[in-house]
Amino acid sequence: MGHVHYIVFANEKGGTGKSTTAVHTAIALAASGHKVGVLDLDHRQRTTTRYLENRDATMKRLDKAIPQASYEVLEDQTEEALAAALARLEQNADVIVVDTPGRDDAIARAAILRADTLVTPMNDSFVDLDLIGQVHPDTFKITRPSFYAELIWNSRTQRAKATGKSVDWVVLRNRLQHIQSHNLVRVGAALDELARRVGFRVIPGLGERVIYRELFPKGLTLLDFHEIGEVGLGHVAARQELREMISSLDIPGEAATNEPIAAAG
């Protein structure tokens, strides 16, 4: 087997849609033909694990196979257990999605060091932007990168020295409002400025939609239209957002396999 591509979802703030985005990414990649493993590092909340367990239960109830990832939750919070869990998942995966907890800890940092693609979801607000950069209260210009941005910078430098590989850091603008506002424009401008200074890419993520909360109990995603039932225009628009997000992540091999995503559901 060739190199396994690691996608690590990391953000010290909660409520950014991190686990929802991680699950949708994993299932979208599985639907496009990738063999996907998922490791949930949050052994207390277990949101990602519960989502995928609900998906297994739905398949059993419907007696129907739908795209799924193999998954584990890291119960033993040690770097040795982390390495062992990833080694197990690597045996049958070409992509591994790691969902870190919404806090800073040693295991999350160890996972970040493995990232080929590091994804930091954030809500589209100055509250969340403060995680990666401080903003002047009058001009809304970036005054300096934050502690978290410095942490990621150091992790990327450490990985480059150890492996010679670069890390693609992607900041994902989740819960984008569908109505243009001064705040939206200011946050976008500040992010673009910080991206140039710190070295990340900014891409649109998943919008603020009730459907994401409704899908969780059945473990379904926006690619599962046949199982969702009644589908409205909002669902179609949300699925297109998902497709565009996956495309923008630039996962190796995705260009050749993204057509099944478009055909799924």
pLDDT band at residue 176 under the 50/70/90 scheme: low
Domain at 77, CATH number: 3.40.50.300
Which pLDDT belongs to residue 57? Answer: 97
* Tally of structural domains, the chain: 1
Given a contact cutoff of 8 angstroms between Cβ atoms, the answer to whether 124 and 130 are in contact is: no
Higher pLDDT, 257 or 235: 235
CA dist 104 → 143, 192, 237 (Å): 23, 25, 34
Kindly report, residue by residue over 61-113, the tens digit of the pLDDT: 999 999 999 999 999 999 999 999 999 999 999 999 999 998 888 999 999 99
Nearest CA to 16 among 125, 121, 133?
Answer: 121
The phi, psi pair for 50, rounded to 5°, reads -60, -40
**Cα(34)–Cα(97) distance, rounded to whole angstroms?**
12
Q: What is the pTM of this model?
A: 0.87
Given a contact cutoff of 8 angstroms between Cβ atoms, the answer to whether 129 and 140 are in contact is: no
Residue 265 is which amino acid? G
Kindly report, residue by residue over 157-174, the tens digit of the pLDDT: 888 888 888 889 999 887
Kindly report, residue by residue over 222-235, the tens digit of the pLDDT: 888 888 877 778 78
| Percentage of the chain exceeding pLDDT 90 | 43
Which pLDDT belongs to residue 103? Answer: 81
Given a contact cutoff of 8 angstroms between Cβ atoms, the answer to whether 39 and 74 are in contact is: yes
Query: Quick check: 1 pLDDT over 80?
Result: no
Enclosing domain of residue 87:
5-263
Nearest CA to 117 among 253, 232, 243?
Answer: 253
Higher pLDDT, 256 or 112: 112
Name 122's Cβ contacts closer than 8 Å, sequence gap at least 6.
Answer: 11, 13, 16, 128, 129, 131, 132, 171, 172, 173, 174
Residue 137 is which amino acid? P
- Chain mean pLDDT for the chain: 85
Residue 47 is which amino acid? T
